[in-house]
Structure 1
């Protein structure tokens, strides 16, 4: 039976589990021994299934079950010119590092403009990804962080929103492409939340697409997305070797999202003009 302190830790994964003498390898690192790692893996899996909104538990599950998948992804990056540059630069994806107003001013049809439109259409931001805590090697910790922060790009490049069915489709796609166990666990159990018609469509249409597309595409962890903002969206799909998922319903129509993105673009232009006028 779990102790009161262990349950409390699962409810607050930032709290230090371990009395281990291992020195943290990077800011926020929480060293775990093998037993603590296993306990957190099982506990976070149970709590993630009980409440899929617990992003902290899903993050902990991803880190404690990563195993040999992260070194393999790091090797993919080292074997790619783009991947090596990512490991050298270690870019981060959030609203402080990505100029959304600049992306909104890119021409229609570019990846950067499509990404801003996707954010508007889904009503999400890039600021919700939890930091890595439980991976000991700093470089592998960054690989996990990179995977986590690029997740929205995967949705965008295959034209899927963030509802339950689409999220599961992307998890199957990620597992076929990246091989991370957390994607397999989410895909294996997440469909239980769907009603029968949605589950039928998931396995009848989305899973075949996801497995074929993910397995045949280049490893997405090697794509330096931030260097591709100005690239044509269709050309980027072809470069990576992906194609759009089967059609699905979106929370917001594309026309509304484009209007919102255009409003952002005009506001950015006005801010630039006002700044130029003030400095003259």
Structure 2
């Protein structure tokens, strides 16, 4: 009997404990739900009365909107700042475009600037600063145009002068110094000028070497420039441009003009330090000797002789 009572009391205690826990849990859930329901009602009332919306607008009005994408400020007139990924995309796109359409200047311009990395330009800057004439060029920053060079005056100079040789080359090739577009994508102002100077002096390299602007002549001058100045675009042109040429063109380049360009480019004094505007009256042969530049075989004559040979062979056949 006593055992039964104890067991009965134990069962009652367990039941009471279970009921107590259930009551406490129900009460807690009810209380939390009541609080949440009351808060929801309070927020709903404020929204209906417009109080909550007005407070949100007050806080929102104190926040300054910041655009997700901002372009840096230009560093000089005409400068277009680009992010690194944009320069990489421009480099890839212009490389492909230059390979398939080397006649399109926009591809050449974009490739030149996107590949003209700061370490290369800084090295040229140091080379110019280490030379009295280079420092003068950086200080005065001359620009080459048909007006600044006075082409009519150059036509009146002696035939063997640098100026007359240059203007005769322009006339023969049908080009003008005014076609050199301004630099836009190089961030540092002085480095941009250095690249602009390099770009505007390109025709003088043609005139001094006598190479025309046909594809073989352009590639040869690019190799010459790369060995002397070190611009990456010139080296890229030397590597990839010949891939699309005919066998006869490749033979002339690899057997004649590449060896000449490498030798003359390495042996000649830095072309970036030549103040062309101040030596236009100088004898061009004396200048070549002073600089250490050898003149290559006449490319137009070699091409002419090649085509005449082909005609004779066809007639014989």
TM range (shorter): 0.7 to 0.9
Where do 1:139-178 residues align within 5 Å? 139-178=190-229
Aligned pair 1:56/2:82, yes or no?
no
Answer yes or no: is the 8 Å Cα contact 1:119–1:125 preserved in 2: yes
RCO comparison, higher one (Cα < 8 Å, 6+): 1
Number of residues paired by the alignment? 234
Q: Is the 8 A contact 1:20 1:31 kept in 2?
A: no
1:31 alignment counterpart: 81
* Map of 2:281 onto structure 1: 230
Give the corresponding residue for 1:201: 252
Displacement of 1:178: 0.8
Larger radius of gyration: 2
Query: Which structure features the higher share of helix residues?
Result: 2
Unaligned runs of 5+ in 1: 1-18, 254-280
1:122 pairs with 2:122: no
The residue aligned with 2:238 is 187
Whether the 8 Å CA contact 1:178–1:220 is kept in 2: the answer is yes
**1:6 alignment counterpart:** none
Q: Taking structure 2 as the reference length, what is the TM-score of the superposition? A: 0.71
Spell out, residue by residue over 1:208-246, the C-alpha distance to the aligned partner (whole angstroms, 9 max, x if none).
Answer: 000010011111111001101010111111121111112
Asked whether the 8 Å contact 1:20–1:33 carries over to 2, the reply is: no
| Residue number in structure 2 paired with 1:271 | none
Question: Distance in 2 between the 1:124 and 1:104 partners?
Answer: 15
Post-superposition Cα deviations, 1:94-139, rounded to whole Å, max 9, x if no partner, equal: 1121101111111221111111111112121111112111100000
CA distance in 2, matches of 1:129, 1:187: 21
Of 162, 165, 188 in structure 2, the residue corresponding to residue 111 of structure 1 is: 162
Q: CA deviation at 1:247?
A: 1.9
Alignment partner of 1:247 is 2:289: no
Is residue 119 of structure 2 the alignment partner of residue 66 of structure 1? no
CA distance in 2, matches of 1:125, 1:65: 25
Select 1:101's aligned residue among 152, 167, 170: 152
Is the contact between residue 154 and residue 170 of structure 1 (CA under 8 Å) also seen in structure 2? yes
CA RMSD of aligned residues (A): 1.6
Matched, 1:90 2:141: yes
Deviation per CA, 1:42-82: give whole Å up to 9, x if none: 11111111211221221111111111111111111111111
How many Å separate the matches in 2 of 1:20 and 1:212? 48
Q: Residues 20, 191 of structure 1: CA spacing in aligned structure 2 closer, same or farther, 3 A cutoff?
A: farther
SS at match of 1:150: helix
> 2: distance between equivalents of 1:143 and 1:203?
31
Residues in 2 aligned to 1:142 and 1:245: alpha-carbon distance in whole angstroms? 30
Q: How far apart, in 2, do the equivalents of 1:116 and 1:34 lie? A: 40
